[in-house]
């Protein structure tokens, strides 16, 4: 994989970072409409977040309109809770994972590491779910090698010159390798600074923003396909209603998979997303995503952006003017 500096100096990557920093600062509008099932929203959500109700055969939806990514972040919810409520639980899981890393040379290191993995997967997928059980089962199958496997993954993800071979899936059951998917990206997010949770929602959001960027380039300079350096991958979401494929016209985005090369490819796009987001946050100088929590707020905004792209108007006109203010009641 390319060195971080070489990757960030790529002309397409640098152009996207400039575009994304403008999106983060609010100078470039996203003009995004999102609809959420009303029965999943936090209590008082509709009182605090301006929007409207739409009725569908499957149930009622609450529709919000966000001119900027910051405004979309203000609409954040997950698991019937607002951002600050979820953050308390997130901080607990992060503390558990990081304290376990500190204790990796202790007598009870393996037991603590396994417990931390269970905690991450239960937080991310819920107790007793298939995704939870599958990821925990893989962790248990690593035996005494689990600590080293996770350490190898962390070192690769943190490196400016990542060695992705640690994520190569080996058919030999006696060979241990680091895994990356929608579950283990959560573990590494808790273990490392500025590591985005690259799940189906964040992946869809990044692909969508890349498409918006490529479409915004002047016609004579526009490329006819997604450049390899910006070829983020998408992952299917749960359920059939949600659409998380932002592909349109010449700009197509491939799916992530769980095949032999799946973990390596997932790690690649995750690392590139980390680098781009960190650079864009720094360049934007936007107050809402500054400071220690800034990266996580951007992650939350992307989480909301990628929830359901089915409402996106494919012929949407892009307006790069200053947005108007919307009032929020907190």
Closest to 206 measured CA to CA, from 11, 13, 63? 13
Q: Do the domain assignments include residue 320?
A: no
Q: Do the domain assignments include residue 328?
A: no
Closest to 184 measured CA to CA, from 239, 138, 237, 231? 138
Helix ranges restricted to H, 103-194: 109-125, 130-141, 146-158, 184-191
Least confident of 85-89, 238-242, 321-325: 321-325
What is the per-residue pLDDT for 237?
67
As a whole-number percent, the residues of the chain with pLDDT over 90 amount to: 85
Q: Do the domain assignments include residue 275?
A: yes
Whose structure tokens read 């500190």?
A: 102
Task: Please state the pTM of the whole predicted model.
Answer: 0.92
Q: Do the domain assignments include residue 317?
A: no
Q: Do the domain assignments include residue 312?
A: no
Q: Do the domain assignments include residue 71?
A: yes
What is the per-residue pLDDT for 169?
86
pLDDT, one tens digit per residue, over 180-220 is 999 999 999 999 999 999 999 999 999 999 999 999 999 99
- Helix, strand or coil for residue 211? helix
Half-sphere exposure of 185 (CA within 13 A, CB side): 26
243 pLDDT tier (thresholds 50, 70, 90): confident
Task: Give the Cβ contact number of residue 186 at 10 Å.
Answer: 23
CB 267 within 8 A of CB 164: yes
Q: Is 239 left (phi over 0), alpha (psi -120 to 50) or beta?
A: left
Q: Domain limits at 77?
A: 4-305
Q: Whole-angstrom Cα distance, residue 54 to residue 63?
A: 7
Mean pLDDT, the chain, whole residue set = 92
CA distance to 5, 269, 303, 325, per residue, from 24 (Å):
22, 20, 14, 15
The answer, yes or no, to whether residue 265 has pLDDT greater than 60, is yes
241 pLDDT tier (thresholds 50, 70, 90): low
User: 109 is written with which tokens?
Assistant: 């290191």
Strands across the sheet containing 59-66: 32-37, 59-66, 52-56
Phi–psi pair at 171, nearest 5 degrees: -65, -15
CB 263 within 8 A of CB 177: yes
Q: Whole-angstrom Cα distance, residue 190 to residue 268?
A: 18
CB 207 within 8 A of CB 232: yes
- Helix, strand or coil for residue 81? strand
Q: Do the domain assignments include residue 319?
A: no
CB 164 within 8 A of CB 264: yes
pLDDT, one tens digit per residue, over 57-92 is 889 999 999 999 999 999 999 999 999 999 999 999
Q: Do the domain assignments include residue 288?
A: yes
Please state the domain count of the chain.
1
């Amino acid at each position: 994989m390319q060195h971080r500096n070489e990757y960030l100096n790529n002309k397409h990557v640098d152009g996207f970072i400039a575009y994304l920093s403008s999106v983060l600062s609010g100078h470039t509008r996203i003009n995004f409409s999102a609809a959420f099932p009303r029965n999943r929203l936090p209590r008082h959500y509709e009182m605090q977040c301006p929007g409207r109700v739409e009725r569908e055969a499957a149930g009622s939806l609450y529709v919000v309109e966000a001119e900027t990514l910051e405004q979309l972040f203000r609409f954040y919810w997950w698991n019937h809770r607002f951002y600050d409520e979820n953050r308390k639980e997130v901080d607990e899981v992060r503390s558990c994972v990081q304290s376990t890393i500190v204790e990796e040379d202790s007598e009870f290191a393996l037991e603590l590491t396994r417990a931390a993995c269970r905690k991450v997967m239960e937080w991310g997928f819920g107790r007793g779910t298939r995704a939870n059980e599958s990821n925990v089962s893989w962790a248990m199958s690593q035996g005494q090698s689990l600590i080293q496997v996770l350490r190898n993954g962390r070192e690769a993800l943190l490196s400016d010159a990542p060695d992705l071979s640690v994520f190569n899936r080996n058919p030999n059951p006696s060979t241990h390798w680091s895994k990356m998917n929608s579950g283990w990206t959560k573990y590494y997010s808790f273990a490392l600074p500025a590591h985005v949770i690259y799940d189906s929602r964040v992946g869809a959001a990044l692909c969508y923003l890349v498409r918006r960027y490529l479409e915004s380039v002047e016609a004579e300079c526009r490329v006819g396909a997604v450049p390899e350096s910006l070829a983020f991958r998408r992952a299917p979401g749960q359920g059939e209603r949600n659409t998380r494929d932002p592909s349109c016209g010449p700009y197509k985005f491939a799916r992530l998979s769980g095949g032999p090369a799946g973990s390596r490819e997932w790690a690649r796009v995750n690392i590139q997303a980390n680098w781009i987001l960190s650079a864009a946050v720094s360049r934007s100088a936007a107050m809402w995503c500054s400071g220690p929590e800034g990266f996580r707020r951007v992650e939350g905004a992307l989480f909301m952006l990628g929830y359901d792209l089915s409402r996106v108007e494919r012929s949407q006109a892009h307006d790069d003017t200053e947005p108007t203010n919307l009032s929020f009641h907190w």
